[in-house]
């Protein structure tokens, strides 16, 4: 069958193309796309031509929500079921695939797809991947009830870290240069918000927390902010419990090489945690939290476009006039 797709023919250009997608084989499903999301950091990096191992022209994207329209033998998913589509296995020719989720129909491995709970609207469910990435960091950092947690950088990933940490009972201080994002973080459960540009931000965090936070997430996507983020952490005192070291979490992907002053971490005995993407369980858990109303990705101000308007939407992410873009595939 013929399927529509978003194509980046070259850096900073987006258009709509067409590919041929076959019928599902053993253990595979064919889906009709309901909605896709744009990863504001990674996918715009692809759009700018700065993603390693990507070759133009390409089909981008890794966020796809679809409805099963055909199931192959031994595919444990039913026609009509909504799924978060992973394990894509279609042929993208004449293009290459940079994850390749921006398609109107998808051929995928059924076992890699995640059923969406009833009652979770499409506009929520499409956040399963980015919510899973945020939750994976929160799990890796072992965020616990009552702990002070600082989140620096309140884009999509940072905002969802705020929500996941607050759901676990942590006391969250959210930090960003953008006032709107700070307001959204407050709505999401942060007990305090601070302007990252404030010269006394570190002192204020230490005053609020009584000496520093237990965990600090850097979700800025920048390598040059990590040492400042580490300053928000409470140093481990001599002979204190060695399990109570401050945890610095490098949350999300960073484009530049990461170089840190070793002694700045060593003297304060800070643990550096580097969560890698997310596991299936993180996405399943995030969807369950959406289903019971505790995780509210709709707080993020998304702009919804037809996939046909991709050429208009991507530049809005690059110039930061949009925080989040979703595509409908009607």
First and final CA of the chain: distance in angstroms? 17
Percent of the residues in the chain that have a pLDDT greater than 70, as a whole number: 100
What is the per-residue pLDDT for 52?
85
Nearest alpha-carbon partner for 171 in 225, 214, 231:
214
Peptide bond into 188 cis (omega under 30): no
Torsion over CA: 287, 291, 292, 298 (sign): positive
CB 18 within 8 A of CB 90: no
What is the per-residue pLDDT for 254?
82
Alpha-carbon gap, residue 138 to 146, rounded angstroms:
14
What is the per-residue pLDDT for 62?
97
CB 30 within 8 A of CB 68: yes
CB 172 within 8 A of CB 147: no
CB 71 within 8 A of CB 29: yes
What is the per-residue pLDDT for 31?
98
Phi, psi of 329 (to 5 degrees): -120, 45
- The region, left, alpha or beta by phi > 0 then psi within -120 to 50, assigned to residue 53 is left
What is the per-residue pLDDT for 49?
95
| Mean pLDDT of successive 10-residue stretches along the chain, which has 330 residues | 97 98 97 96 94 94 98 96 97 97 98 97 98 98 98 97 98 97 98 98 98 98 92 95 93 85 91 96 98 97 96 95 95
Phi, psi of 194 (to 5 degrees): -135, 150
Residue 199: exposed, middle, or buried by beta-carbon count in 10 A (0-12, 13-18, 19+)?
Answer: exposed
Alpha-carbon gap, residue 29 to 85, rounded angstroms:
10
Question: Would strands 63-71 and 15-20 be described as parallel, antiparallel, or unpaired?
Answer: unpaired
Over the stretch 85-94, which tens digit does the pLDDT of each residue have?
999 999 999 9
What is the per-residue pLDDT for 253?
82
CB 198 within 8 A of CB 177: no
Alpha-carbon gap, residue 306 to 304, rounded angstroms:
7
SS3 letters for 71-121? ECCCCCCCCCCEEECCCECCCCCCCEECCCCCECEEEEEHHHCEECCCCCC
Which domains are present in the chain? 2-127+300-328 (3.90.180.10), 130-273 (3.40.50.720)
Q: Which residue has the tokens 């999401």?
A: 188
Over the stretch 55-70, which tens digit does the pLDDT of each residue have?
999 999 999 999 999 9
What is the per-residue pLDDT for 160?
98
Contacts of 55 (CB under 8 A, 6+ apart): 96
């Amino acid at each position: 069958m013929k399927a529509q797709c978003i194509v980046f023919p070259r850096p900073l250009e987006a258009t709509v193309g067409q590919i041929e997608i076959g019928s599902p084989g053993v253990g595979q499903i064919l889906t009709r796309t309901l909605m896709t999301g744009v990863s504001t950091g990674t996918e715009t990096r692809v759009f700018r031509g700065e993603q390693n191992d990507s070759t133009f022209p390409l089909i981008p994207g890794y966020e796809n929500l679809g409805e099963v329209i055909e199931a192959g033998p031994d595919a444990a998913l039913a026609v009509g079921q909504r799924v978060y589509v992973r394990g894509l296995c279609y042929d993208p020719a004449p293009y290459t695939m940079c994850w390749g989720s921006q398609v109107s129909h998808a051929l995928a491995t059924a076992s890699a797809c995640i059923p969406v709970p009833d009652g979770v609207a499409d506009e929520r469910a499409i956040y399963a991947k980015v919510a899973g990435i945020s939750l994976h960091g929160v799990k890796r950092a072992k965020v616990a009830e009552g702990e002070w947690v600082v989140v620096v950088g309140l884009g999509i990933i940072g905002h969802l870290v705020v929500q996941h940490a607050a759901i676990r009972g942590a006391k969250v201080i959210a930090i960003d240069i953008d006032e709107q994002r700070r307001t959204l973080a407050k709505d999401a459960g942060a007990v305090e918000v601070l302007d990252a540009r404030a010269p006394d931000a570190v002192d204020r965090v230490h005053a609020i927390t009584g000496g520093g936070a237990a965990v600090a997430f850097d979700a800025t996507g920048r390598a040059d902010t990590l040492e400042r983020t580490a300053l928000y952490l409470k140093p481990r005192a001599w002979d204190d419990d060695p399990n109570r070291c401050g945890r610095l979490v490098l949350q999300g992907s960073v484009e530049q090489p990461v170089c840190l002053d070793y002694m700045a971490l060593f003297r304060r005995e800070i643990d550096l945690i580097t969560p890698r993407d997310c596991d299936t369980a993180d996405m399943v858990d995030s969807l369950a939290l959406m289903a019971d109303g505790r995780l509210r990705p709709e707080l993020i101000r998304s702009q919804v476009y037809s996939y046909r308007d991709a050429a208009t939407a991507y530049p809005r992410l690059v110039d930061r006039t949009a925080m989040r873009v979703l595509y409908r595939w009607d």
